[in-house]
Amino acid sequence: MDPLEKLISCLCRLPGLGRRSAERVAVRLARDQGSILNDLVSALNDVKARIRCCSLCGNVTTVDADPCRLCSNPGRESSLLCVVEEPDDIVRIERSGGFRGRYHALMGKISPMKGRGPDDVRIKALLERIDKERFAEVILALSTDVEGDTTAGFIVEMLKGKNVKISRLALGLPSGSGIAYSDPVTLAKAIERRTVDR
């Protein structure tokens, strides 16, 4: 295969890159050979050599820090577990400052349409952790789409009979947005779950 075509199809497998943006990136890399192409190859090799996923929560960490700094930090609330889909969800939640407990990344979500079942995500490891680490509450911070709901429903089912509180993220209007930009489902939820000022 043509090297450029090979690079384009490789870039297409990355999240958020469609065919057209992959083409644009590939051609830029090809034309700026000297600098950015070399930097990228070196950065990728560094990640390959030094970055791993935490064996506990799945977050990205360095080879010499497993469990990661979030899992091994004694200052964090150890009774709360936040279940997310991907490691970068952890980065986003950390940036929000809204959570100070433990994490568990599933590395995906259940998707019958794409042939991904419960065994293709880290649900077994989640159940083992819940048994062992005795969390008081498990927060399911999953996507609010069909696949996220399916995954959440499956986890709720598996946790039946266990003495643990289960919660999900609130649905509502995003901050800085308005009714004009809202879809009907979100809007109905935002009204139903309205908060009372006084």
Is the separation of the CB atoms in 154 and 140 below 8 Å?
no
Q: Which residue from 91, 146, 156, 185 is in contact with a second copy, where contact means CB under 8 A?
A: 91
Query: Per CB under 8 A, which of residues 96..115 are in contact with a second copy?
Result: 107
Span from 50-58, 70-78, 131-139, 153-161 in contact with a second copy (CB under 8 A): 50-58
Give me the count of residues in the chain: 198
How many residues form the binding site for a second copy (CB under 8 A)?
48
Query: Per CB under 8 A, which of residues 167..186 are in contact with a second copy?
Result: none
Q: Does 159 engage in binding with a second copy (CB under 8 A)?
A: no
Q: Which residue from 19, 55, 57, 60 is in contact with a second copy, where contact means CB under 8 A?
A: 60
Q: Does 130 engage in binding with a second copy (CB under 8 A)?
A: no
In the DSSP assignment, the letter for residue 97 is T
Q: Does 188 engage in binding with a second copy (CB under 8 A)?
A: no
- Return the H-helix or E-strand segment holding 124: helix 123-133
Cα distances from 71 to residues 58, 75, 125, in angstroms, run 10, 10, 15
Is the separation of the CB atoms in 10 and 23 below 8 Å?
no
Q: Does 62 engage in binding with a second copy (CB under 8 A)?
A: yes
Task: Give the Cα separation of 49 and 97 in Å (integer).
Answer: 30
Span from 56-64, 109-117, 124-132, 155-163 in contact with a second copy (CB under 8 A): 56-64
- 119: alpha, beta or left, given left = phi > 0 and alpha = psi -120 to 50? alpha
Task: Give the Cα separation of 176 and 191 in Å (integer).
Answer: 17
Nearer to a second copy, 4 or 188 (CB): 4
Helices (H), 72-161: 87-96, 123-133, 146-158
Given the rule CB under 8 A, which residues bind a second copy?
2-4, 6-7, 10-11, 13-17, 21, 23-31, 33, 36-41, 43-53, 58, 60, 62, 86-88, 91, 107
